[in-house]
């Protein structure tokens, strides 16, 4: 890992640990989880929010004012709003996505859950998603939340990442393996 990446990961982990522990003490983990879901969605959907968080062109004051207004508009809990205000005043909003991921992992551990990243060739039906979650739960021994994305280049099948295990049943991977086998023969 490069040094700047490890520094920002460390910063994000410290903020995440502090927020998580405070929320846990206040029995506010459900509120924290709702806040990070809302923040993650807002970051995906709003180029302006991404610019505010990641651009060094905004001053501390501008970031602080904007984050306070955004927190109020989104109805974020006081803990999350105060954390974002502190991050803005310290010019640490650039680690927001890493902090969200870290908090999400901590909440999942607390609940005894795991998150599986699933990439499918086509959107999964609710029945397929529940069967996959049940199968992964049997394998992992924990409840499994699915985070699904669609990648049509897979042609068919799934790529599932559960912890450090990766299962690739995509047709794209099978075709690549077949192509490699054909090269070895001829």
Is residue 4 scored above 70 in pLDDT?
A: no
pLDDT of residue 3: 56
Collapsing DSSP to helix, strand or coil, 156 comes out as coil
Compute CA distances 35 → 69, 102, 162, whole Å.
15, 14, 24
Q: What's the pLDDT at 186?
A: 63
All domains of the chain in start order, with CATH: 2-109 (1.10.520.20), 113-184 (no CATH)
> Is the pLDDT confidence value at 63 over 60?
yes
Q: Give the pLDDT confidence of 139-152 residue by residue, as tens digits.
A: 988 899 899 999 99
Please check whether residue 162 is in contact with residue 181, taking contact to mean a CB–CB distance below 8 angstroms. no
110 contacts: CB under 8 Å, gap ≥ 6: 24, 29
User: What is the C-alpha separation between 47 and 110, in angstroms, rounded?
Assistant: 32
- Mean pLDDT within 13-37: 96
Which of 104, 130, 126 has the alpha carbon at shortest distance from 115?
A: 104
Whole-prediction pTM:
0.74
By 3-state DSSP, what share of the chain in percent is helix, strand and coil, each rounded to 5?
70, 15, 20
Local confidence band at 6 (pLDDT 50, 70, 90 cut-offs): confident
Q: What is the pLDDT of residues 86-111, one digit of tens each?
A: 999 999 999 999 999 999 999 988 99
Average of pLDDT values for 72-79? 96
């Amino acid at each position: 890992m490069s040094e700047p990446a490890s520094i920002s990961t460390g910063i994000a982990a410290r903020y995440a640990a502090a927020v998580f522990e405070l929320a846990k003490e206040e029995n506010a983990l459900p509120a924290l989880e709702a806040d990070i879901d809302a923040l993650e969605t807002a970051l995906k959907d709003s180029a302006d929010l991404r610019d505010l968080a990641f651009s060094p062109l905004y001053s501390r004051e501008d970031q602080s004012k904007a984050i306070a207004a955004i927190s109020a508009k989104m109805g974020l809990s006081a803990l999350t709003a105060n954390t974002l205000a502190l991050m803005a005043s310290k010019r640490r909003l650039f680690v927001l996505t890493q902090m969200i991921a870290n908090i999400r992992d901590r909440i999942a551990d607390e609940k005894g859950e795991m998150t599986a990243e699933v990439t499918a060739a086509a959107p999964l039906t609710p029945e397929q998603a529940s069967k996959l979650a049940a199968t992964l739960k049997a394998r992992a021994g924990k409840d499994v939340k699915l985070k699904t994305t669609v990648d049509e280049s897979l042609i068919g099948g799934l790529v599932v990442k559960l912890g450090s295990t990766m299962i690739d049943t995509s047709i794209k991977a099978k075709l690549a393996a077949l192509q490699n086998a054909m090269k070895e023969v001829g």
